[in-house]
Structure 1
């Protein structure tokens, strides 16, 4: 083979080799690329996952604690009403403020309903007329149709309005109570009266201030003739409050009347007392004491409030009377 022929064979071989290499490169370019899966995390105890690549990060939803529902107790509306005794209007309450019966016109009208209060609580209701001028034309009077024809007189207190009159319960105790007989005997001896076996007419136990400490009201009396007409020497009537003041129990005498000596031609004058009710009469949550006093030709009613001044004092807040 000459030189030219060998050169042509070499060129042909190179051309075939180049063509083969070009086809291999084209196949490599067309093959899809693969991505290796990320290695799995070995974390086991923390409860969390390890994210790799471009996967979006996730986080646990925040824990929310809902505030417990609260209930709001609305305070009761202020007291509004009229207080009526047998002698006339004691006073009235307007938006929780107490007014005496000489302070303007009583806020009452015909058709108003009144609850009737006695020591044991509300004993009934009645419809009242419009106020009119009562005894001696000086104080308003509302006739609730309640009468008492014989001694001992027993008149209730009438209250219009709807507030809670008894936030504290009143307990009527037995009058044959030797403890209170002994206390009464010692107490009336201070007024010059000797009665070895006092007659207790009323014994009432109540927590006046709502402080968890009970007070006791006692009414005792001796009328040897059976009534106020013709009272005799040694007769008496007393109403007192037994209350813890400081660290000791004391007796606060609200009223007393005694007849120690009586001349043969002397008329025996004596006053007698009752407790018609103990109730919250002005809507302040504390209990007021109502006393009624009688004499031969008249009577009067008072509402007492206990004053917490460290010394023990009960004061008259309202009063009404009728007589000569």
Structure 2
């Protein structure tokens, strides 16, 4: 007996569904992972973007549900995960109309950098370990990087030292966060730095059997203080920090979520990294004037 075309199609789909593993069906069901980020002290996270049906999607308001809230798992850097609910994203308005924020319940300010997702997949498929910031090896690496950038007698201050296998190849990478500002307020650096001020965010990894350093963010103050009476433009200070490590797209690799700020604005980015391909920015959001 020959089946009509629609009946044949239904039969083929039924046969295909019987052959697909349950795990594949479960993975396909999660077509959208919305990602939010927030800095210490902030109550409202910003919409970073999403991973949807096999591609990265920039931040826009229609990524979150209209007319209702949705659950998120929030992951503070170095802290315990918890569940919150979030409102639909709303624009911050001018001058940051393309930046969207979500109101959380419970509405409690963050005590650390926090990444929030709607995903049910493992957030970190491999261990992420905080190392002592007094580690002599990494103190020496930071000192060498600063001397190479013209700081003759650097005061080395490592603020975070995180170890993880980012790409799942069995080799550990280390993210080094170091900064020193003689004048600083909260998450923001001063308008301009004083001699000896700096901010470094470095990725230490192995390539071809050699230890290598990739710069994720850097600022070193000029050796001569800038004067408001100068005709030269003010050299803006920048602060660079690690906001999180997370597998946002289910490929078993950890994206680097980084934070950068100057005195009138800040930004987050989700970046993929591999030893061969280097860094690639996949999502970003921010606000500044």
Q: Which deviates more, 163-172 or 112-121?
A: 112-121
Q: Say which SS state the counterpart of residue 74 (structure 1) adopts.
A: helix
Deviation at 1:308, TM superposition (A): 4.2
CA distance in 1, matches of 2:236, 2:128: 32
Matched, 1:160 2:127: no
TM-superposition CA deviations, 1:27-85 (whole Å, max 9, x none)? xxxxxxxxxxxxxxxxxxxxxxxxxxxxxxxxxxxxxxxxxxxxx78345144321012
Identify, as 1 or 2, the structure richer in strand: 2
Closer, same or farther: CA 146–100 of 1 in aligned 2, 3 Å: farther
Deviation at 1:212, TM superposition (A): 0.8
Q: Which residue of 2 aligns with 1:223?
A: 181
Closer, same or farther: CA 216–195 of 1 in aligned 2, 3 Å: farther
Matched, 1:258 2:226: no
Deviation at 1:134, TM superposition (A): 2.5
Do the aligned residues in 2 keep the contact of 1:262 with 1:268 (CA within 8 Å)? Answer: no
CA distance in 1, matches of 2:156, 2:240: 15
CA distance in 2, matches of 1:292, 1:188: 20
TM-superposition CA deviations, 1:4-41 (whole Å, max 9, x none)? xxxxxxxxxxxxxxxxxxxxxxxxxxxxxxxxxxxxxx
Larger radius of gyration: 1
Deviation at 1:96, TM superposition (A): 4.0
CA distance in 2, matches of 1:173, 1:305: 22
CA distance in 1, matches of 2:153, 2:256: 26
Q: Which residue of 2 aligns with 1:205?
A: 163
What is the Cα-based RMSD across aligned positions, in Å? 2.3
Do the aligned residues in 2 keep the contact of 1:307 with 1:315 (CA within 8 Å)? Answer: no
Do the aligned residues in 2 keep the contact of 1:203 with 1:218 (CA within 8 Å)? Answer: yes
Is there any run of 5+ residues in structure 2 with no aligned partner, and where?
1-20, 39-44
Q: Which residue of 2 aligns with 1:234?
A: 196
Is there any run of 5+ residues in structure 1 with no aligned partner, and where?
1-71
Matched, 1:271 2:233: no
Structure showing greater relative contact order (alpha-carbon pairs closer than 8 Å, 6 or more residues apart): 2
Closer, same or farther: CA 139–229 of 1 in aligned 2, 3 Å: closer
CA distance in 1, matches of 2:54, 2:108: 27
For residue 243 of structure 1, the aligned residue among 205, 210, 228 is 205
Matches within 5 A, 1:33-44: none
Matched, 1:77 2:27: yes
Deviation at 1:157, TM superposition (A): 1.6
